[in-house]
Each structure stands twice: as structure tokens, then as C-alpha cells.
Amino acid sequence: MAIASNGKDTPILEHLTTLSDSVRSRILVLLGQELTVGDLCAVLQLPQSTVSRHLKFLADRNWVDSRPDGTHRLYHRTLDAPGHDARGLWDMVRAAVEESSAGAVDRERLASVLASRRSRSREFFDRSAGDWDTLRDELFGPHFHGLALLGLLPASWTVADLGCGTGAVAEALAPFVREVIGVDASPAMLQGAERRLARFENVTLHAGELEHVPLADGTADAVSLMLVLHHLDRPELAVREAARIARPGGKVLIVDMLTHDRVQYRREMGHTRLGFSQEEIETICHEAGLGGTRFQPLPPAPEAKGPNLFAFTASKE
């Protein structure tokens, strides 16, 4: 009669061998959260070679896994997955290790290792508070949080961008909302927008005048008029159209220049208006049936050469 002697036919014997080493069992308990080899060495007060040898042993048997984190690897236990064939045995061993005096010491040392990690990060921020804005810009650029805040928009929205130009607004919005519809009268601008927005399946572009927008009533959850109204002879007509294509309760956003005195813009860029005062914009919007208004001057970017801007939001009542 053949007797299984290497444990291969009876996995539980292999599992018992794995767990019979008290260091391995303590490592497994600690790896309920992600830790580096260095963290484990500090908690267990063992040399790196010993900890690495045990980790390799456990990883070879799929009891732990790891992922890269900068120049380190972070290890975690995989044993807790439902259906793992050592799960029942592990639950018993874990309870015993956690109740042991070694388990209690490990818990205390782990708490202090994690606390020193936290205090390293706090020290860094205490030291770098004065330089943080510069460092943040260096690492990530000055604009990412403005774009990220678009994540606050409802993902179900359809947004119409009137006077979309080459599609800067649509490009920012498209990743965050269901649909963006751009409208512009200039074929050259629309061509630029087409090129820029080709990668988005949820953007459509229409040729059309803002005084007669080629969209049905109530099409959009939100409508944007960005740097457009100062080009129009009768901006109130475009705002009326924006209100018409917004659904009830929908939003209208107007971004434009505050009143300024750069008369050369009329000649150089075809501006018909030298910006708008808050009062002018509020009057135009109220006459178009928009309420719940908010007028917000925007802080000028340091490198900006143009007049200061405002953002005006209103709702269709």
C-alpha cells in the first residue's frame, strides 16, 4: 500500500508545514495590511535576508502577493480570499498567533512603525508648507485641479457649448459628461474643433448662428457661452437662445471680459463690446428668463495679458 509521504496528495500537510514556522505565521498576520520588507524587519526585529526568505517562501505558495511602490514593493496576504484552500486552517492559526505574547508585541511595534511613517509625512508637510504651491505646480502643473473639479458635474449631463471655437471647452468637458454639443458659425474654427475632438465619441459639432441655435428646446442640461458674447451685436439674442435650449432647471454659464478700455480689440479681433458689467449681464439674463444668478470675477492668471474675466451662472426657471 502506498503512503503519501511528501504532502503533495494532502495539501493540508503542506499548509501545516508552511504555518508551523512561527515567524512565517507572524508575517502572515502582519500582512493583513500592505507593508514593505523594511517595515516587517522593523516590526519583527529580524534581518532583511530572513524576512525576504520567508516572503519568497510564502509568495511561491500564493499566500502573499506584492506590488511595486516606487523603489519598494508592498506585500499583502492573499489567504483571506474566500475559497482559498488553507482558509479554515489559517483562521485557527491566526487567532492563536494574535492571542500569543509575540503577536501582542508585533501589534505594538507595527503601530509605532506606522506612526513614524505618518510623522515622516507630517514632518515633510511642516517643512515644505512655504514651498508647497511651487512644488505642486512643478510636479503636476497649475491647472489639473480646475479640470479635476469637472468631476463634480453630473455624469448624465448633455452640455451645449455655444461659440465652441476650436473646442477647448468641449475637450475639458467630454471626459466627464454624457454628451457635448458644440455650435459655431466659423468653418475654420469648426475644422480645428473636429481635429481636436476626434478622439471623443460623445462630442457632436454643428455649424450655426448663436442668434438661431440649431438645437431643439430643452436639449441641454447646461449651456456655456465662453468668450463669445463680446463678439455679438445683440448678445441678448444668444442668451435667449441659450435659455431656450436649456431644460427647465438647466444651467447657463457665461464667461467673458469685465468692462475694459482696450478699444483696439474692436479693430484687431472684431469685438463689438468692451466687456460687460455685472449689471449688464444680470439684466440680459433676467430678460431671457434666467434666475438664481451668481457673478464671480475670476482671479487673473499671472501670465495673462488680456482684461480680467468673470464667470456668471444662472438657472432656467
Question: What type of residue is 247?
Answer: R
Task: Give residue 260's Cα distance to chain centre.
Answer: 36
Indicate which single residue of 34, 209, 280, 282 sits in contact with ligand SAM (rule: CB under 6 A): 209
Is there binding between residue 168 and ligand SAM (CB under 6 A)? Answer: yes
Is there binding between residue 185 and ligand SAM (CB under 6 A)? Answer: yes
Give 186 or 278: the residue with its C-beta nearer to ligand SAM: 186
Indicate which single residue of 39, 106, 179, 184 sits in contact with ligand SAM (rule: CB under 6 A): 184
Cα distances from 65 to residues 36, 62, 77, 117, in angstroms, run 12, 7, 6, 22
Is there binding between residue 194 and ligand SAM (CB under 6 A)? Answer: no
> Which among 117, 115, 103, 112 is positioned nearest to 29, based on CA atoms?
103
Binding mask 283-302 for ligand SAM (x = CB under 6 A): --------------------
Question: What type of residue is 39?
Answer: D
Stretch touching ligand SAM by CB under 6 A, among 100-108, 112-120, 182-190, 215-223: 182-190
Indicate which single residue of 28, 30, 169, 242 sits in contact with ligand SAM (rule: CB under 6 A): 169
The footprint of ligand SAM on residues 214-243 (CB under 6 A) is 226-228, 231-232
Is there binding between residue 159 and ligand SAM (CB under 6 A)? Answer: no
> Which among 193, 234, 237 is positioned nearest to 213, based on CA atoms?
237
> If you write DSSP's letter for every residue of 103-123 in order, what string do you get?
HHHHHHHHHHHHHHHHHHHHH
Q: What cell numbers appear for 186 in the block?
A: 466659423
Is there binding between residue 186 and ligand SAM (CB under 6 A)? Answer: yes
Distance CA 173, CA 156 (A): 12
Give 214 or 292: the residue with its C-beta nearer to ligand SAM: 214
Alpha helices in the chain (DSSP H): 11-19, 22-30, 37-44, 48-60, 87-99, 101-128, 132-140, 144-148, 168-173, 187-197, 235-245, 264-269, 278-287
Is there binding between residue 30 and ligand SAM (CB under 6 A)? Answer: no
Residue whose beta carbon is closest to ligand SAM = 165
Where on the chain is the footprint of ligand SAM (CB under 6 A)? 163-165, 168-169, 184-186, 189, 209-211, 226-228, 231-232
